[in-house]
Amino acid sequence: MKALTFSTSVPRYLVLKTLGALSRSVYYRGPLASVKLRDVPEPEAPAPGWVKIKTLMCGFCASDLSLICLEDSPTASPFTSFPCVLGHEICGEVAEVGPGVAGLGPGDRVTVAVHLSCEARGLEPTCPACRAGMVGSCHNFAAGDLSPGMFIGICAETGGGFAPYFTAHQSQVFKLPPDMPSEEAVLMEPLAVALQAVLDNRPEAGEEVLVVGGGVIGSLIVQALRVLAPGARVTVSEPSPFAAEFCRQAGAHHIIEDGDLLGQTPKLTGAERHKPLLGQDILMGGFSRIFDTVGHSRTLNTSMRCLAAGGTLSVVGIGGDVKLDLTPLWLKRQTLKGVFSYGYVTLDGERRHVFDLGLDLAHQGRVNLAPMITHQFALDDFQRMIEVNLHKGRHQAMKTVVSFN
């Protein structure tokens, strides 16, 4: 079967980073490309506890683009294995089930929580993170029965969603409501990321909240805030009119389109602006909670200056190396909180997986997902899909997907 595969090595990495400074097309076109469409074996009959899934639709994530363009930090490389089949925002149909699988059968339409934690890796006892419900931060992403890999899509053994078939452990698989379209189901994974981010930094009624970046995750965080913290006031900083409109439709109260956070924050929150001898201004007061979906030095430094004393900044965007002026951190006793993946949470006294929460919200119409899909591609048109994601504003693109229908 044809699959979109990723692989790299130290020599290839060094050559591509040099050539990529001239043209990013070298990452996905030509003989040195990090990503290629290849013939790979179709997965065999699943092992005990595992499921073989026929892919219906798979979303292209900003993290896929960062991986292809070799922009991710090498620090995460021990938790990946090559060559891998990309794709982790997936909906599909169960093709086969292995021995011992309960509650799933051929023909079931499903979505997948893709982290490969202790249970999927056959490890007992489970690690402290998994026991705490933080399965997306498992200690054992490089241990157990599988090759290294934090999730399906960067693990050499499981396959990924940019192929007609892949495999998943039964603990990762969630059945869809019968009437849920693929265009909603394929967005369960990014919705779960947004829901987890908000649950980990949940505002109270009346709080002023800022979302930096109004792309897919940013607009989903807005929707999550409107459901989980309806009394909070939500501002989004987003320069693209196209993406900003998605955030308005999602329920944002204010949009900052000119990028002037230091100028706009005092008007919105009553913060006081102070000018140092050198460098950026700093605000006293500001937003009590900020979700930075960009994760670059510029946005993080500005976010910390706009964050109130005692406030929490959730770093949602996965950037590379950043340089921070830590003065606002100690001066205003702020908290920086990492955001990655999702797991089990206790909500209204009930412990449940965030995927279950996302499926319920989508099925009840409390979040609106399908309009976010602006472009659909065939798998063999992956190069065009990458180019659209490199220039989203030009192409009026939000979420792009590969459809196997």
What is the structure's pLDDT at 266? 98
Residues 165 and 218 placed together within one structural domain of the fold: no
How far is 221 from 336, CA to CA, in rounded Å? 17
Residue 124 is assigned to a structural domain of this protein: no
What is the structure's pLDDT at 33? 96
Task: Show which of 317, 338, 359 is a domain's final residue.
Answer: 338
Compute how many other C-beta atoms are within 10 angstroms of the C-beta atom of residue 25. Answer: 15
For 278-306, the pLDDT digits (tens) are: 999 999 999 999 999 999 999 999 999 99
Whose CA is closest to 85, among 189, 159, 24, 136? 159
Residues 285 and 220 placed together within one structural domain of the fold: yes
Average pLDDT over residues 5-33: 94
Average pLDDT over residues 80-94: 97
Residues 164 and 200 placed together within one structural domain of the fold: no
Average pLDDT over residues 297-318: 96
How far is 54 from 195, CA to CA, in rounded Å? 27
Residues 236 and 327 placed together within one structural domain of the fold: yes
Task: Show which of 338, 355, 387 is a domain's final residue.
Answer: 338
Going by their DSSP bridges, the two strands 89-97 and 109-112 should be labelled as antiparallel
What is the structure's pLDDT at 38? 97
- Tell me phi and psi for residue 121, to 5 degrees: -90, 5
Residues 6+ positions from 23 with CB-CB distance below 8 Å: none
Going by their DSSP bridges, the two strands 165-169 and 109-112 should be labelled as unpaired
Residue 75 is assigned to a structural domain of this protein: yes
Provide the sign of the torsion angle of the four alpha carbons 224, 230, 232, 236, taken in this order. Answer: positive
Domain of 109, CATH number, reads 3.90.180.10
Residues 232 and 181 placed together within one structural domain of the fold: no
What is the structure's pLDDT at 22? 93
Residue 27 is assigned to a structural domain of this protein: yes
Compute how many other C-beta atoms are within 10 angstroms of the C-beta atom of residue 52. Answer: 22
Domain of residue 57, residue span? 2-114+151-187+369-403
Residue 343 is assigned to a structural domain of this protein: no
Cα separation values, 107 from 14, 95, 165, 359, 363, Å:
45, 6, 14, 19, 20
What is the structure's pLDDT at 319? 74
Residues 6+ positions from 317 with CB-CB distance below 8 Å: 213, 217, 292, 293, 294, 295, 296, 299
Residues 328 and 241 placed together within one structural domain of the fold: yes
Residue 400, pLDDT above cutoff 90: yes
What is the structure's pLDDT at 318? 82
Residues 50 and 155 placed together within one structural domain of the fold: yes
Is 198 within 8 Å of 290 (Cβ atoms)? no
Q: Whole-number mean pLDDT of the chain?
A: 96
For 362-383, the pLDDT digits (tens) are: 999 999 999 999 999 999 999 9
Global confidence as pTM? 0.96
Residues 37 and 94 placed together within one structural domain of the fold: yes
Residues 110 and 203 placed together within one structural domain of the fold: no
Q: Residue 345 forms beta bridges with which residues?
A: 352
Domain of 233, CATH number, reads 3.40.50.720
Residue 146, pLDDT above cutoff 80: yes
Average pLDDT over residues 46-55: 96
Read off the tokens for 100.
């011992």
Residue 92, pLDDT above cutoff 80: yes
Residues 248 and 162 placed together within one structural domain of the fold: no
Given pLDDT bands bounded at 50, 70 and 90, which one contains residue 348? confident
What is the structure's pLDDT at 2? 98
Task: Show which of 338, 358, 382 is a domain's final residue.
Answer: 338
Residue 320, pLDDT above cutoff 90: no
Residue 38 is assigned to a structural domain of this protein: yes
What's the domain count of the chain?
Answer: 2
**Residue for token digits 């989203």?**
392
What is the structure's pLDDT at 97? 97
Average pLDDT over residues 61-69: 95
Residue 351 is assigned to a structural domain of this protein: no
- Tell me phi and psi for residue 22, to 5 degrees: -90, -40
Given pLDDT bands bounded at 50, 70 and 90, which one contains residue 173? very high
What is the structure's pLDDT at 46? 87
What is the structure's pLDDT at 7? 95
What is the structure's pLDDT at 45? 82
For 321-343, the pLDDT digits (tens) are: 889 999 999 999 999 999 999 99
How far is 390 from 372, CA to CA, in rounded Å? 17
Residue 87, pLDDT above cutoff 80: yes
Residue 74, pLDDT above cutoff 90: no
Residues 265 and 228 placed together within one structural domain of the fold: yes
Residue 273 is assigned to a structural domain of this protein: yes
Residue 353 is assigned to a structural domain of this protein: no
Cis previous bond, 74, omega within 30? no
Phi-psi region of 341 (alpha: psi -120 to 50; beta: other; left: phi over 0): left
Residues 51 and 178 placed together within one structural domain of the fold: yes
How far is 353 from 360, CA to CA, in rounded Å? 11
Is 246 within 8 Å of 221 (Cβ atoms)? no
For 197-255, the pLDDT digits (tens) are: 999 999 999 999 999 999 999 999 999 999 999 999 999 999 999 999 999 999 999 99
